[in-house]
Amino acid sequence: MKFLVLSFAALASAQIPQSFITLIQPLLNALNATEDNRLNPFTTQILDTFIEPLETQLERNSYVYREGAQLMLDGAPWTASGANVYWLGLDENVIPPAGQPFYAPFNASYPTLGRITEVMNTLQTMGAHTIRSQTLGVSVGNPLSVMPALGVYNEQAFNTIDWAVFQARQHGIRIMAPLIDNYDYYHGGKFDFLRFRGINITSSDSSHVNPLVQEFYTNATIVDDFKDYISHLLLHVNQYTGLTYAEDPTIFAYETGNELGGPTFGDEDVPVEWTTDIASFIKQLAPQKLVVDGTYGINKTHLPIEQIDIFSDHYYPPNNTKLMEDIALVQSVNKTYLVGEYDWTANNPQASSLQSFYGIIESRQNTSEPVVVGDLFWSLFMHDVPNCNIFVNHTDGYELQYGNPLNSVQNNTQISIIRQHFFKMQGVTVDSYLPAVACPGNTAEYTYL
């Protein structure tokens, strides 16, 4: 029985909970049933190969939490660098084969499981920890949405969201999802909630919209509608994990919205009362979740809100001075800061270099109060899986296509800088080489099940 003793000792040294050891005791007994000579003894080294995956799974099932100006996981500092992949729940870039769900007015369709899996493989290769995805949280107002109409729910829309959350878990990647969008995009946003209640305005002019837009924040009926949607989303049980989104540590944070503001672009006009109310509601449904203030920019009146864990801003282009100012603001209230989006391309001559921008973020990790916990570039696209010969294109000029043979030298140089940065945020040094990522083709749905 010495190997059984060794196995328990190894498990204890791995700091695996006693309750879990008790659960797998029959397995350990079977592993050490060597008296009949049909099973070779398990040495400590071999048992380590069993324990390491258990440790990994236990870590993936642990919550990220905040201690002052730092994020933590299992008692160690944790960083949130990665990518925006906005289309994981609902896409607008690919017309699917005939017979597949498609809503032509918005060019909306569900991404294939293979596209989702390939993105996870890619981010893992890039050294990323985190995905931010609008359509894992915002899905209202069209027939393929989670909520096509007020109070009407479409369970089919959860299929791709479930798979994305599950695949992120299997790849060791955490998710941050905005819950509403400031704009009138295909996946829905605050204008849909306004129209549900007869306020028929839109954001066709992004610089200034009808002041009635503030009804989204101030109309009690509309606020309750939004809370009902949040509740339905967070209490949905993922078919692949058996966990609600509220329970699943894979989703480490929900963001009150994407680039929220008022009638004028960039005005940061999001009431304190609304932000406090929505953040409190998220914490009520999901007490272990972190909450990100979704205001576009740091609204100083929001800094004292107790329920907000992370503040964020977007950088088009990267600006070192602005970054340092934002960090200082958040440091003043002992909370954390995340670069939620940024232009990675180096096409704007006014942009600070990625190396200098990253240098500010990396240098903070060596302090007792990092404040800035990571950054998420905009945005990642890969192949039109199962077609591994075509990369999916987007029209905003910021799509990053890892491994595309048509990439310019400048693009690949920037991608290499990003990859080195992501690994450095984990305390790992890698060179400029960009390893290939296999396209899963037709086998994605059998991957990591």
Measured between alpha carbons, how far is 81 from 69 in angstroms, rounded to an integer? 16
Tokens matching residue 395: 């029209």
> Which residues partner with 295 through β-bridges?
260
How confident is the chain (449 residues) per 10-residue block, as mean pLDDT? Answer: 43 57 64 60 75 84 97 97 98 97 98 98 97 98 98 98 98 98 97 97 77 97 98 98 98 98 95 98 98 98 98 98 98 98 98 98 96 98 97 97 98 98 97 97 66
Q: Which residue matches tokens 């949905």?
A: 236
Q: In 3D, which of 228, 213, 144 has the Cα closest to residue 181? A: 213
Interatomic CA distance for residues 155 and 145, integer angstroms: 9
d(CA 268, CA 261): 5
Q: Are 107 and 147 in contact (CB under 8 A)?
A: no
Q: Tell me, what's the pLDDT at 206?
A: 58
CA 386, 390, 391, 396: dihedral to nearest 10 degrees? -120
In whole angstroms, give the CA distance from residue 110 to residue 43.
Answer: 48
* 372-378 and 336-342 strand pairing: parallel
Please report the pLDDT score of residue 448 as a whole number: 54
Q: What's the rounded Cα separation, in Å, for the pair 40 and 35?
A: 9
What per-residue confidence (pLDDT) applies to 3? 39
Q: What is the DSSP string of 302-366?
A: GTT-TT--EEEEEESS--HHHHHHHHHHHHTTT-EEEEEEEB-S---TTSPPHHHHHHHHHHHTT
Rounded CA separation 163/56 (Å): 20
Single out the residue of 14, 261, 60 nearest to residue 171, CA to CA. 60
* Side-chain half-sphere CA neighbours of 237 within 13 A: 2
pTM for the complete prediction?
Answer: 0.91
Residue indicated by tokens 């070192």: 320
Q: CA dihedral in degrees (245, 246, 251, 253; nearest 10)?
A: 140
Pick from 113, 98, 108: nearest CA to 146 = 108
* Chain CA centroid to CA 321, Å: 26
- Cα 427 off chain centre by: 21
The two three-digit tokens of residue 182, written as one number: 């400031």
**Rounded Cα distance, 308 and 254, in Å:** 10
Per-residue confidence (pLDDT) for residue 49, from 0 to 100: 77
How far apart, in whole angstroms, are the C-alpha atoms of residue 161 and residue 250?
Answer: 12
